[in-house]
Chains A and B, each alone.
Chain A
């Protein structure tokens, strides 16, 4: 709390003058960066199209209603595929993530110098590449289809699951592990009786949370040919079948809301 002199009157000020100046300088730099970036984007934009956008949007909206409900018959299979991609992808991610998480956690890693950095690098690279890019890669490698989608979702989720899981492992209560060690338990026994019971609830929560995110992500994998409802979306948009597009969007909306509800219920039950 600072005061400053204004004429003869002392006034309360929230921060010291130096700190206040620093914050202003920070704002100035931030605004300058923003304006610069904005200029570059605006140079690349054809503003005529942007001005035209409201009319286009109205036109598009008009073409999208009413949704073509009869198209629903052809959508059940893609929706099922989407659910499978998300579920099997999550399952695959968990199977891979568990050993990586144990290697990355400070208290369980076999070697802090060699194994832990490798595990952390795997986690970061899996997390930094979007599932759509994983899918793009896998479609060129193993061909289009549901399998590419499952693997893409799986590889993308490994980093997320392993990161949360290893944080959970690092936060366990060491006294319990010590107690198990005192009974003369071997390494594997310590793991199954000392560590696993402590992280199991967190583990279940993470899996369900990731499943929910994966449902959302697997709806768009079809755009690059990796199966699921995105394939239909892509096909409908390229044939300008806007009434089908609106139905697909409604289906995606319903699926996402439903999965969010399910995951919230399950997590509520676990925790």
Chain B
């Protein structure tokens, strides 16, 4: 035994071929990625100046000079958030019930899963582009886009939650001779409710954040105001809008934590 034997930490990936293979792949990928990216470094370095100006705009942000349009945009975003969350969750309940394997029959199950998959795939902003084309500019298009996004998110989680519920309780209620609706109301709903309220609050938070961007494509809300202020290089107004968004998101996050504690 030589004295130079040292203990070594076992590697994360045990198979050495796989480990080294992965590393080589990563290096090749990075080389390829950076090789094919077209980056205009002179334009980027010019931007540093503008970046400093932008950061400077946060001290202090300008809430006053565009206050009217900021206020209008924020309020519109809030309406859209509330209505789309309510409508989205209301619509996602039947879809979610249909997409739970232990509740529904095969054809309904496949249909509802299909609905969920389609509404989850496309980002809200792409949906918003099409709804603006179909329904005209304004918050209605954004509201529809956010509602459909909510259906995909909430319906899927509801279905998974129902599939995971305790079947014993459900059977006990059924044994009392309860009808299907009674069974749903007294056996299924109490089991999934606390988690679903928490998720509803989380979705409210997501919808507010998303409502800030659907305006970029004309779907109403604060996004349009933000886009205009960037286009005019009014960084201090943009900073004000961003701070308001961060503030509201923090508020929703804290209150949702409070409500979740209260429900459970």
Contact = CB atoms under 8 A, between A and B. Distances in A.
Contact of A217 (B37, B38, B123, B143): B123
Interface in A125-169: 125, 127-130, 132-133, 136-137, 140-143, 145-147
A143 B230 contact: no
Contacts of A146: 37-39
B140 A44 contact: yes
A143 B245 CA distance: 24
A56 B83 CA distance: 25
B50 A140 contact: yes
Contact of B125 (A34, A50, A87, A220): A220
A49 B246 CA distance: 34
Interface residues of B, number: 60
B121 interface: yes
A93 B230 CA distance: 25
Q: Which of B83, B245, B253 is most buried by chain A, counting CB atoms within 10 A of its CB?
A: B83
Given A50-B135, A136-B216, A34 B83 contact: yes
Interface string B102-142: 00000000000000000001110110011001111011100
Contact of A129 (B130, B140, B242, B253): B242
Interface stretch (A35-43, A95-103, A105-113): A35-43
Interface in A205-226: 216-217, 219-220, 223-224
A45 B144 CA distance: 12
B3 interface: no
Interface of A: 14, 30, 33-34, 37-38, 40-42, 44-46, 49-50, 53, 56-57, 60, 77, 80-81, 84, 87-88, 124-125, 127-130, 132-133, 136-137, 140-143, 145-147, 192-193, 197, 200, 204, 216-217, 219-220, 223-224, 233, 237, 249, 252-253, 256-257
